[in-house]
Structure 1
């Protein structure tokens, strides 16, 4: 443990690392590996040194975590290969022990293969002992420590599925994991008799009502025809009132010619008023005629519009009627079934 600490190590971190190392070493020598090994690991993280790394590997081996111990021994050997000759001379004894321990423990490391089913949803998360495993870590044998392990899977939006198992030294085990999909709402219970209503299972939301599609094309034509009819009737009324006024003015400006029944002598104002009265009367007649036709058409369209389809339970019949129009006549067709 005579190798100097890195130059960038903070004095406080070095002091904490030294304290953790002493405590971890004491726990390891007393057989308290569950507390000693984590203390040694934290000591090496704060102030990495070859002696601390070697001691951590020894602690993991004594604890029975042989896969972790082999990895720590390999880390120490890789660090040893980068040392100077003087440093290698100081660490030579630890190097020999690390090689011997690694070669003895490597064949005893269990191998575990975890795989997902082919229909597993994209984005399924797999964790082993709280560590998330990426897709490259699935389907291949990976070294693990002997003992009990917990593997969980969770599909996006689905529940977590847990698997617990034990693996022994030198054992190779393959586990195909199970993935639980998100629960689907059960379908509503169908009605059984006339007038019955569908029952929504507890916890399921009832289907929202269908959006209002707005008036049908036939109803729009009815509205347009009704509006045009009202406009034509108003036009006929206004022009009729104007024709009456013009006719009154013509009567005032015209006098009967004596001895010539039916012949009147009119001033220029009266003659113009009479002409305007005739034109306005014709316009009023056309307006009333068009308004009446359009109003009748709108009323007929409204009365003959089929009702919108409505889902009914226990319906025993249907009645349908429509307007027929031909070049020579028309009528109403009615048909139904029971």
Structure 2
């Protein structure tokens, strides 16, 4: 017996949803996932029901869109946790399949990190497969479905730059995006101080002054510090997620297991409770390892940062060198000055 439809669903919407569900289910069973899964998704949107959500997750999994399927299974499991005991009894078999499918597919979901260059103009728009990604979605690994993807970037007033790529199951990839500037636009140049003037050799008048050499970037030790800090953050996030999952499985085991009267510490469990208890133990161990590794890596990152030696300073007395000229400060008991040495 199906769970009653929400009171907000209109009669016409329920009829349309039922028709879409039947068509989507038929297409799914025939292997026509490109039409079946969207029909099931629209059916669930019009008239949300646990059975429709579960069937949509199954369709996405068969279609190979495993990131979407895992998200749908998690939605169903969250809905299941809020059901009454009678409703859980009706949906128990779907719950069991959803847990097994989610646990099997989650490790296979690809992870994609998209990053903008540091000089990207404010207001640059990034889209992945037509979905606009805000700043919080950049620079971090996000789950995506396996297969081909299209990422576009567009600076204000500039042309669209497109990147196409294919990502496989279990793959982790980082892509540094490129941004095309508008015609005639130049990247900003850091202004020099009022006393800094470029010296141009006599034979090169009219030529553009040479820009100072680019910054060499962070030291190797600083890069190691960043890497260790990133690993620490990842381990702590892993510990938190697996800890939450362990608590969720533990609550299932508590419901499915009953203490044996007169035998302290002995309980009888259903098949579901026994499986949930085992998963809770495994996830709890993984959470402990994640927190331990994250804490150790965080301490290592802090120590690397605090013990990093200061960058080398320029030699005392040498002001600078531009082109073929060298300027030096002179000091003596009777006065001082500036010496200019070079060749022309």
User: Scaled by the length of structure 2, what TM-score is found?
Assistant: 0.54
Deviation at 1:8, TM superposition (A): 1.4
Unaligned runs of 5+ in 2: none
1:17-63 Cα distance to aligned partner (Å, 9 max, x none): 00000000000000000000000000000000000000000000000
The more displaced of 81-90 and 297-306 is 297-306
> Compared with structure 1, are the counterparts of its residues 324 and 126 closer, same or farther at alpha carbon in structure 2 (3 Å cutoff)?
closer
2: distance between equivalents of 1:325 and 1:101? 79
The more displaced of 2-11 and 237-246 is 237-246
1:254 aligned partner: 257
1: distance between equivalents of 2:72 and 2:252? 121
Please tell me whether the aligned partners of residues 185 and 204 of structure 1 are also in contact (alpha carbons under 8 angstroms).
Answer: no
> Compared with structure 1, are the counterparts of its residues 134 and 18 closer, same or farther at alpha carbon in structure 2 (3 Å cutoff)?
same
Deviation at 1:213, TM superposition (A): 49
The more displaced of 243-252 and 16-25 is 243-252
Unaligned runs of 5+ in 1: none
User: Scaled by the length of structure 1, what TM-score is found?
Assistant: 0.55
1:187-221 Cα distance to aligned partner (Å, 9 max, x none): 999999999999999x9999999999999999999
Deviation at 1:138, TM superposition (A): 0.2
Report the aligned-residue RMSD: 39.8
Q: Across the two proteins, how many residue pairs are aligned to each other? A: 337
Deviation at 1:325, TM superposition (A): 50
Deviation at 1:106, TM superposition (A): 0.1
Please tell me whether the aligned partners of residues 120 and 179 of structure 1 are also in contact (alpha carbons under 8 angstroms).
Answer: yes
Which secondary structure does the structure 1 equivalent of 2:112 belong to?
A: strand
1: distance between equivalents of 2:308 and 2:220? 11
Please tell me whether the aligned partners of residues 223 and 298 of structure 1 are also in contact (alpha carbons under 8 angstroms).
Answer: yes
2:154 aligned partner: 154
Please tell me whether the aligned partners of residues 193 and 314 of structure 1 are also in contact (alpha carbons under 8 angstroms).
Answer: no
The more displaced of 10-19 and 258-267 is 258-267
1:326 aligned partner: 332
The more displaced of 295-304 and 319-328 is 295-304
The more displaced of 31-40 and 192-201 is 192-201
Larger radius of gyration: 1
